[in-house]
Structure formats: C-alpha cells, structure tokens
Structure 1
C-alpha cells in the first residue's frame, strides 16, 4: 500500500498490542452484525421463495385459451395438513406443474417425499387408500413449500366429478375447479400474511444491527481521535484526516464482514431446522445468493466508514480541543423533539396500515430512541454528578457528562432489546386452547342428496370397522353430514356391527382396555364427543369417507382452526427468534463496548490508579456508569415499544407477554453485569502500566 491508505495501515499495525485489540473488537462487532444482518435479509427472501413455490396451487382463471383444469383441497392426517391438487389436461401439450417432470395422466398419483414416507408407515386404511391409482413419481422441491410438506397431485379426466363446475370447493378447505392457462398462480393470503410478519420481524432485527454496526465504527474512538488530532496539528489537512479514517475503518470492517459471512454459512444448517408455517426450510431458502452477499459485504463497511467520518467533526474543526481532552458541548434538546414527534404520529400511521408502513414506523421509532439516547445519558450524568455522595458515583457522573455517546454505546444494545421486548411482549398471543372435538367430522353435501350420502357414509364406515354416529342436518342448498367417530348414538343412528379388531392397550395387558377406552380405541358408550379418541380411528374414518362428496373432504372444527393455532405458534417462535437475535446483539454490544471503553480511557485509568485511587473505586464507577443509564433508558425503551404496539393490540398484555418482558429485563441486566465482570481483568491490566503507549 502507498499514500494515505498505506499510512493508515501502518498506523493500524503500529498501534501496539492493545491497538490491535481495539481493531479486533471492531472486526468482531462487524462480524456479528453481518452474520445476523444476512439472517434478517434471508428471512424475507425465504418467505418470498415459499410464496412463489406455493403460488401454482392458487390458480388464476384463464382469460384466453385454457390448457388444464385445477382444483385444490386440504385434507388431514394425524393433525397434519395434506394439500391435494387434482389436474386434468384439456388437450395435448399441457405444461407440467412445478415439481413434476410431466403432466400427470388420468389415474396417476404423485406424492411428496414426506407424504410417500408417511403413507408407507401408516396402515393403508388410514392414509394410502385415499390416493388410489398408479404412482407417477415424486414431487420435486420446486413444487413444495417446505421439505416436510404433505402434497399429493392427482391426474384426472376432464369430465371427472371432482373437476365439474358444480363441484365448488369449500373456501375453508380448498379452491374450486379452475380453468388455467399456466401454473403461475398468485400468492395465497396465508403466504402474504407470513411475508408481512417476516418484514416486521426483520425490521425489529435489522435496525438494532445497523445501530450496532454504526457503533462499531466508534469503538476505541478516543484513541483514534487523539492520534488524528495529533496529525492534524502537525499539518495534515481535513481531507487527509477523513481519508485516513475511512481507510482504517473500511479495512477493519471488510475483514469483519467477511468473517460474518463465513459465520452465517456455518450457522445455515442449524437455521434450516427452524420450523415456521408448518415446516423447516430448504437450503436454497436460506442461501441469499451471490448478489445479496456482495451487497452486504459492501454496505456494512460503507456504513462503518460513514459512521467513522461522522464522528470526525471535532478532530477536523478543533484538533487542539481533542488533544487537550476538553469536554464537548452538551447535545441539543431537538433530539427529544424528534422522538416525541415520531411517537405522536405512530397511532395515526400504524392503525389500519399495511405491513410496509408499520415496519417503517417501527424503524423510525427505533432510530429516534437511538438518537435521543445520548442526550438522556448526558442528563443522567449531570444529575448523578450533582447528587453524588461517593467518589465512584462522582466519577461515573462526570464520565457520563464528558462522553454521553460512548456511555450510550455500552447500553444501547440492551435498550434496543428493551424496545423489541416491549413491542413484541404486548402483542405476543397467549396460549390458545380449544374444545372443538377432533372426532366429529363434518362433510358438506347437496341438500337433495344428503340423506342418501349419509346412508352411504354409514355403509362405508361399517365396512371400515369404525364406530360412529352419522347424521344429516341443516337448511339451504347444502346440508352438513356429521360423523361422530367413536360415539354410538341413539338406536338406528350408529353404525351397526362395526367394532374394530382389538389392539394392544396402553396398559400393555393383552385383551384389557385402558381406562376410558374400549378395546377398539373408541370412546365408551355415553362418553362426550369431545373426549379423546384414537387418532388412528379418526384417520380410518377420513379414509372411508374419501370421495363421498366430489371436491369435499370430511373435516373437524379443530381442522378448520388449525391455521389459527399454527400462526399463533409461529408468532411465538418468531418472538423467540427476534429476541434471541436482539440479545445476541445486546450481549455482543455490551461486552465489546465495555472492553473498548477501557482501551479508550486506559491512560486516564492508569493515572487515577497512580494517584492512589483504589481499583475497586474505578470498577464501581464503571459499573455505575453503565447500570444507571441502563435502568433509565431500558425502562424508557420498553415504554416506547409498548406505546408503538398499542395501536396494533386487540387486548391487554397477557401472562405470556408479561413473562417475556420480565425475562428480557433480567437477561438484559445480567448481560451487562456479566460483560462488566468479564472485562475487569482488562481494567486491572491497563492500570498496571501508566506509561504512554505507541498508539
């Protein structure tokens, strides 16, 4: 290297062991930010990829020449959803759907790998018998939402009853037969909902990461400012100082960004196991591609370089003041005005807005908390110094007044996590329980055929050996056929002679039923329909009723509520993920900035120690300097997060949300205290030698 970049490189290498340690801390901070930033970006790309792969099952009606007919419905087995797609070609040359290497012929069945495996494990009368016909092949990854998805694609004739125009599917369980020109389709409402949640979660992760990445550029800032101020005083121009700063920051940040990309690659196999929306992830979902990786590798060092330059105003304008370590002027109150203005606009902007607007408002609130943080820390310092009664409190207060930005960097990670916890904690849904009977299956049928179809259902269930009560009722053009599995009804209502062969009971004693069950696994006579019933018995009933009403499947109320339970579970999983990322940032931020702060002030600490100040006093001052602003700003950030969540909340905070907040507060304080304890040996080391260092 030559010129200013070469000089920056030599100064970086010549800064001594502790100078290199400071650069290493910056690189580690950038690596953590880069790895987690890639994860946040990839989460959105992954949901988009899932939506694209699922779109072909949400057909768009052809406006011109149709090439095929497509119908989609949802079935269930063992409380897992099966997507069944029926296809019929309207002529030769119909394109194959995604995941198939050819269009399925009539009578042909293609199964996903997970469904094929499950069909082989369960008895045929519980699953495989629902898909009669010859096996055409296996559905490939490009046709599946996730690796464990249960999907069946069946070839039909165009005149098949399941594809008739009057075989309209129940909108809760499928899509009516549709004439299509291709398999492009459109994103489902469920997929759009997950993309919106993914976008909001990404903002909750990305903004603290950007703040942390920017703060990484200011690590060991005092050491660098002193050195650059000295160069400025001996004749370096402002442009040269800026160029040297950018070169040093970008060199360090680029190395950290590369390390972060490698770290993300190593973590990918673990991330693939996270189950959201019913399943885990394909590797392609979590691989962002070359261009996004390059964009992150360019953007992160650029952000660090810009952040480093922003902090050079004092060096460029007043290098003598930096060299003399004069206390900088207080921060302006306009920072608080900006935060209050954003918060005042939150209710109007968030209520009834789309995910994009909500994400933007959350991002603005995040940034405003980060903007007002140093001002509040400065005020806390003045109050602390004014009421101090011990040397440690006085030192802490003066330090907060002297450099509130540095003190804020130490607690900003935990404060940002407090914002996330306050926002998510207020919206975290509580556990949802249901009394909906899983053993009561319902099937919609045309009113004119309801009686005959109910009789046929009794015959099918009897042949399958399933004890059940079958009734038909309701008004209008369609009636509900209700099948209460394992529950004998009044005389004439139950299926005669249909007990299943006895099987080994849970007690393990041959021929002896476990308490509350008959030997067939069904509920005993008189037991309520909502009581637990053997899942195998319910699946046998589903299989027996397959095809009874073309285009319809027998489902329970629990099946129809399944998506609600799933999305609430996924919100809980997402909460854990977002808070985990936030805590990783908070812990890394607390530890790295605490070590950096010691390196920045090592000469001050050493001189105070030489003047007779006990090491315990310095350590207590350092803890107070962190915990006092953390208490105020942590609580304030939680309050801001709760305020931003209020327009989206439909009820008061539940027990789960309260526990989430409490855990976050405890872990946040524990992380900061732990970081302070871990850096205590470094403090002892720097106070042992007060001599000036080469850097």
Structure 2
C-alpha cells in the first residue's frame, strides 16, 4: 500500500498544470461537501442536545421515594414565552436541578441571563413584579434550550397552594405538580417533533452532498482512465491500477476534507445566529464533537476513493477499448424501474410513519433519481441528435449519447435541488394559516367557589396597576374562567347576567363595547403582572398565546426551508461550475481536434451550453414533479401563491446558476483550443 500511495502521489504531481487543476477541482468539491455535511450532521445533533437540556422540565413521576415536587407553567412577556419551573424539596439535601448550584429555597427565584436582563430593562409592573422574592442566582446554560431563553425557577414550601393542583388537561408546555425522585425527565413532544423535522432536513441536505462527494471522484475521469489504461497495456496488474487510483483519490479527498472541516469551524459563529424554535444556538451545539468529525474525515475520502475504484471496471477489464475511446455500452432501463419502485412506496407513508421511515424513503428517492438520471440523459441525447437542425445541437446530442454519466454530473446538483424544492414547498404553510388571534382578552381559570372573590380581586389589582379593563365569568362546573377584556368597554351592573353566563351566576362582565385586539403590549404585560398569583399555580393567557406555538412552528418551517434550499443551491452551483470546468479539461483533445478541423469556437460553446441546458430542463422539471409527489402524503396545505413563487424562484435560480457556471468555464474552453495542434496526453 505504501508503494501505491507513493506512485499515486507521484502521478498526481506529474500531471502537469491541467492535471493539478483537475486535482484542485476535486479537492474543492470535497471541501464544500465536507463543510456542508458537517453542518447537516451538526444540525441533527444540535436538536438532540436541545431536547436533552429541556428534558428536566418534563418530569417523570417518582416510582419510589420522592425528593421534590415540580410543576411547569408558561407565561409571556412582549410576546415571548417564559418557562416558570416551580419546585419544593420534600427532604433536606434534595439534588439541585440542572443549571442551579443548589436547590432553590422557599421564596427564592433564579432567573436565566436573558430573563434577568429583560426584568431590569422593563418597568417592574410589566415583568419583575411577577417574580417577587429573594434572588437566588442565575440559571446556567446547561438548563437552557437556547442562549436567549426566558426561564425562571422558584422555590416553594411543600405545602404551598402553588404545588397543590391536580391538573389533568394542562396547556401545551405546562406540567401539573409532580412528585419526582430526580431531574432526569424525558424529551418533550415538541422536542421530539423538531428532531423528526431535523432528521428530514438532514437527509434533504446530506444525500445530495454524498452524491456530490462521490461525483468528485469522477472529475477529469477521461484523462485518468486514459492514463491508467496505458499503464495496464504496458503490464500493470489490476490490483496495482486499483491501488493507484484509490491512493490518488484518497490523497486529494483527504486534503479537501481537512480544508472543509476548517471551513466549517469558521462558519460556526454566523450559523449560531439562525433562529429556530424561539432562539439562536450555543456554539457548542453546532460542533459535532471529535468522534463525528473524525467519522466524516474518514468517510468522505473513503467515499471518494470507493467511487473512483467503482469506475475502473472498463480500465481493468478492457484497457484497449479505453485507449481507443470506444463508446461504452448503453445503460439499462432497470435504473428507471428502481425509481418507479421507490415512488410506489410513497403513497403508503403518512405523518405518523415515523421520522426514520420517512428519512429512509426520501434517501432512496434521492439515490434513485441519481441512478435513473444518466439513463434519461442518454435518451435525451438520442432525441436531440435525431432532431438536430444545426451543428451545435448535433454535437450536443452526440455528446449526451457518448457519455451520459458525465453530462448528468453537470446537472445532477440542480436536478436534486429541484427535488428538494418540490418537496419542501408543500410542507411550508402560509403564515396566514392560523389567522390573527385576539391578544386583548386574558383568561384565568378559577375554582367555581371562589369565582366572585377572584373577580373582585382582579378588578382591584387592575385598578391599582392603572389598567382599564372589564371582567366576565364564564363556564360551568367546578372550574370557571375569568375573562379580562383590556382596552375598552364598561362593566355590567352587579347582579346582571353577562355574556356567556347563566342568569343565576354572579357576574362582573364587560359586554357592551367592542375591544381593540391590537392593544399595546405594555398594557397586556401590566395586566399579566397584576393578575400574577391571584390564583396560585395559574396564569392569565390569551387566545394569541394558544396560537403562539403554531406561529413559531410555521416560522421555523420557513426558516428550515430557506436553510435547506440554500445548502442545496450552494451544492448545485458549485457542482455545476466544477463539473463544467472538469468536462472541458476531460475533452480538451476532442475540442482541439474539432478546432483543427475548422469548427468555430462559438459553435463549440453553443454545443457545450446545449448539452447542459437541454437535460437540465427535462431532469429539473422531472425532479420537481417527483419532489411534489413525495410530499403529498405530508402536505399541510396545497400549492398556494407563496409556494408557487418559491418554486418559480428555485427554477430561475437553478437555471441562472448553471448558466453562470457554464460562463465561468468558457475561458477554460478558449484556453484548451488556443493551440489546436494535437499533442500526446
């Protein structure tokens, strides 16, 4: 193996300026692939890390001896969510929760850095008044989902009314008082949902990267095959040819993988600013760790080396045919049959199929498109050559027929991006899906026996806080709801029946005047603060609060779509540019002979563009259609105007990227045809 590495390194250095340029293109392709692959892996691990840090707030009931009681409530300020964890120790020496140096004492409040800063910045009657008591310290990063998360941890006595509730149907994100033996907890349903979405996004990013990385080994393949075929004809054994090829590919790919790792490290700081699930990221979240980094550093060169070796069958078995530049045998329809078989499985999927199954099917669809692509390109070439009415289209068609694999490598990045675009546009709901909720009416659950007293206390507190509002008691049974309408109206006379209330129920209602739903955020926060603690363990919320998670999720899906499409387009454009230059280098002798025969450079340039744009139009459209089909089982809404605009933008960007990449390779074409005299390769 040492001899093979040495010979491979010598051949790499002895390849001349054009050979070194080909090796540099391969290294650049691997650099981009490695950096983006590390990002895809890190994104998946980052959501897992977030779920682990949040798990302590989703307690598991104690099976044996309990050491503490824990409940979780959700509050809001300035439309931002505050997670409030209520704790009481059941015995001395109870272990502290994550992020705290010790267990909070009764009456003690610990705030996260962002919440403490916000409490200092806002007037006390809008936020700080909700967290009266001694300050115990700061909640550490190991207990926070993201750096700007608003979290409060409060200590109580075990017999506090705050921890006496038995809630059975808690709102999203809240947990009824639970006796616990530790703070292990388990991932929340929301965290698990985000992990599934992250897994799907990782597949949408990683599979094209792996395809691109494997294709990097086939750059300047024609020149390499000619050189290796000559070595076979002078006596090199198949094993020596395979070893030299693998060594050359691995050396180049390893250099690119190291450069890609360094590039990703430089990208981590700006990537932490991408806001998902309510906040940005800790830098440690986006670092995959040494084991995963080493795995990528080993896997990428191995993939490139394996891809290079797989393409050696003709060199090893028939070196004379390679040396004579014979057209390889055509590909079989079984490539398309594999794609059709994978698509037949798609209608059996649903949202409940599980993230793993969905990711597997998407990965297989990606690979099947990549497998069927060269066969379709060959068919397009035969049609193009048969219908050609000029030399440029004829040359383009014959080129597609002669080497459909090379032509597919030029457009595969954009075609796979079309699949991604078609898939994500149906999963990207409009921001108008949930409508505009009312933030001006706060609701507070109250025991029926205390409804009148709570309503009176609410009016007193609101008046003292300078908040103009009316109150109304609604509901039946043991639990009623106090509705506080902010910003307008007048209170009904005592003893009169209010809206939504039976005539025999005591009523304090605001019912006669409309309420402006666009009340000032400061007014809402003052009302929340005034009502805090009125009913132990309960907080005032609005219908806007109920819809807040849906709005965040819709925004996150949009952000994820932008990230996935950005990665896909970056891969597509880089792939198109590198493979276009590589294709010119591969065929420089053919181009030189055509120029020597009198073919104008403009005709060669038009033929080169046609052999890219014609299959791109067909395969790009087909890939978008396949993506739309794969998304149908999970579609949230139909293809609305926003989704159609996104799809159109993807098509335009894809074509513009390929055209730009082709234009970038035009100087290389001029360079290789400047001296058309044939020379030994």
Tell me the SS of whatever aligns to 1:479.
strand
Aligned to 1:327, what secondary structure does the other structure show? coil
Query: What is aligned with 1:549?
Result: 535
Is 2:33 the partner of 1:33? yes
Alpha-carbon distance in 1 for matches of 2:516, 2:415: 47
* Partners of 1:469 and 1:484 within 8 A in 2: yes
- How does 1:244-393 map onto structure 2 within 5 Å? 244-350=244-350, 352-393=352-393
> Contact 1:428–1:656 (CA<8 Å) still a contact in 2?
no
The whole-number CA distance in structure 1 between the counterparts of 2:426 and 2:597 is 51
Aligned to 2:507: none
Q: Write the distance in 2 (CA, Å) between the matches of 1:46 and 1:435.
A: 32
Q: How does 1:118-517 map to 2 (within 5 A)?
A: 118-166=118-166, 170-172=170-172, 174-350=174-350, 352-432=352-432, 434-492=435-493
Distance 1:118 1:662 in 2: 42
User: Structure 2 regions of 5+ residues with no counterpart?
Assistant: 496-509
| Local SS of the residue matching 2:182 | coil
| Conservation of the 8 A alpha-carbon contact between 1:169 and 1:177 | no
8 Å contact 1:349–1:361 — kept in the other structure? Answer: no
Counterpart check, 1:106 vs 2:106: yes
Find the counterpart in structure 2 of residue 597 from structure 1: 583
Q: Is this contact kept in 1: 2:245–2:309, CA < 8 A?
A: yes
- Check 1:172–1:352 CA distance in 2 against 1; reply closer, same or farther (3 A cut): closer
CA distance in structure 1 between the aligned counterparts of 2:71 and 2:519, rounded to whole angstroms: 31
Shift of 1:2: 5.5
Please point out which of 605, 608, 628 is paired with 2:594.
608
Aligned-pair distance for 1:532? 1.4
Q: TM-score, normalization: structure 1?
A: 0.94
Relative to structure 1, is the Cα distance of residues 527 and 601 closer, same or farther in structure 2, using a 3 angstrom cutoff?
farther
Q: Structure 1 81/72 Cα, relative in aligned 2: closer, same or farther at 3 Å?
A: same
Shift of 1:651: 3.3
Q: Give me the whole-angstrom Cα distance separating, in 2, the residues matched to 1:272 and 1:418.
A: 27
Deviation of 1:493 (Å): 7.7
Question: 2:623 pairs with 637, 640, 643, which one?
Answer: 637
In structure 1, what is the equivalent of residue 504 of structure 2?
none
CA distance 1:379–1:106, shift in 2 (3 Å) = same
Match among 665, 669, 676 for residue 683 of structure 1: 669
Task: Provide the C-alpha distance between the structure 2 equivalents of 1:37 and 1:115, rounded to a whole number of angstroms.
Answer: 35
Question: How far off its partner does 1:693 sit?
Answer: 6.2
For residues 407 and 166 of structure 2, what CA distance do their matches in structure 1 show? 70
Q: How is 1:24-103 mapped onto 2 (pairs within 5 angstroms)?
A: 24-103=24-103
Partner of 2:125, secondary structure, is: helix
For the structure 1 residues 7 and 690, does the alpha-carbon distance in structure 2 shift closer, same or farther, using more than 3 Å as the test? farther
SS at match of 2:353: coil
Deviation string 1:262-319 (CA, Å, 9 cap, x unpaired) is 0000000010000000000001101111111000000000000110011001101110
1:625 and 2:611 aligned: yes
Give the drift of 1:531.
3.0
CA gap of 1:606–1:464, structure 2 versus 1, over 3 A, is same
Alpha-carbon shift at residue 690 of structure 1 (Å): 3.3
Separation in 2 of the partners of 1:196 and 1:323?
A: 50
Does the 8 A contact of 2:429 with 2:637 survive in 1?
Answer: no
**Secondary structure of the structure 2 residue equivalent to 1:136:** strand
Give the structure 1 partner of residue 560 of structure 2.
574
Structure 2: distance between partners of 1:525 and 1:170: 28
SS in 1 for 2:276: coil
Could you tell me whether the CA contact under 8 Å between 2:492 and 2:511 is conserved in 1? no
Tell whether the 8 Å contact from 1:169 to 1:552 is kept in structure 2 after alignment.
Answer: no
Which segment is superposed worse, 126-135 or 468-477? 468-477
Cα offsets for 1:322-381 (capped at 9, x unmatched): 000001111001011111111111111446311111111111111000000000000000
* SS of corresponding position for 1:689: coil
Structure 1's 313 and 350: CA in aligned 2 closer, same or farther, altered over 3 A?
farther
The structural deviation recorded for 1:166 is: 3.9
Cα distance in 1 for residues equivalent to 2:665 and 2:405: 20
1: CA distance, partners of 2:327 / 2:63? 72
Q: Is the 8 A contact 1:327 1:402 kept in 2?
A: yes
Secondary structure of the corresponding residue to residue 352 of structure 1: helix
CA distance in 2, matches of 1:573, 1:658: 17
Deviation of 1:418 after TM superposition, in Å, equals 0.2
In 1, are the aligned partners of 2:99 and 2:143 still within 8 Å (CA)? Answer: yes
Counterpart Cα distance in 2 of 1:159 and 1:693: 93
Does the 8 A contact of 1:61 with 1:181 survive in 2? yes
Instruction: Decide which moves more: 441-450 or 160-169.
Output: 160-169
C-alpha separation in 1, matches of 2:31 and 2:314 = 28
Point out where structure 1 has 5 or more consecutive residues left out of the alignment. 495-523
| Structure 2: distance between partners of 1:640 and 1:460 | 60
**Alpha-carbon shift at residue 168 of structure 1 (Å):** 6.4
Aligned to 2:502: none
Cα distance change on mapping 1:167 and 1:568 into 2, 3 Å: closer
What's the Cα RMSD here?
1.6
| 1:235-278, Cα deviation, whole Å (9 max, x unpaired) | 00111110000000000000000000000000000100000000
Residue of structure 1 in register with 2:506 after alignment:
none
Residue 22 (1) aligns with residue 8 (2): no
Q: CA deviation at 1:630?
A: 0.2
Alpha-carbon distance between aligned partners in 2 of 1:485 and 1:165, rounded to the nearest angstrom: 28
Instruction: Give the corresponding residue for 2:505.
Output: none
- Aligned residue in 1 for 2:650: 664
State the SS of the aligned residue for 2:151: strand
SS of 1:652 mapped into structure 2: coil
Q: For residues 597 and 96 of structure 1, what CA distance do their matches in structure 2 show?
A: 63
Secondary structure (helix, strand or coil) at the match of 2:83 reads: strand
Segment of structure 1 superposing worse, 104-113 or 643-652: 643-652
User: Does the Cα contact within 8 Å between 1:471 and 1:493 map onto a contact in 2?
Assistant: no
Say which SS state the counterpart of residue 679 (structure 1) adopts. Answer: helix
For residues 530 and 301 of structure 1, what CA distance do their matches in structure 2 show?
63
Query: How far did 1:526 drift?
Result: 7.9
Checking the alignment, whether the CA contact within 8 Å between 1:169 and 1:551 is kept in structure 2 is no
1:673 aligns with 2:674: no
Look up the SS of the partner of 2:482 in the other structure.
Answer: strand
Change (3 A) 1:693 1:253: farther
Measure the CA separation in 1 of the matches of 2:436 and 2:296.
49
Post-superposition CA distance 1:462-497 (Å, at most 9, x none): 111110001111112211100001123244489xxx
1:563 and 2:564 matched? no
Q: Distance in 2 between matches of 1:607 and 1:363?
A: 42
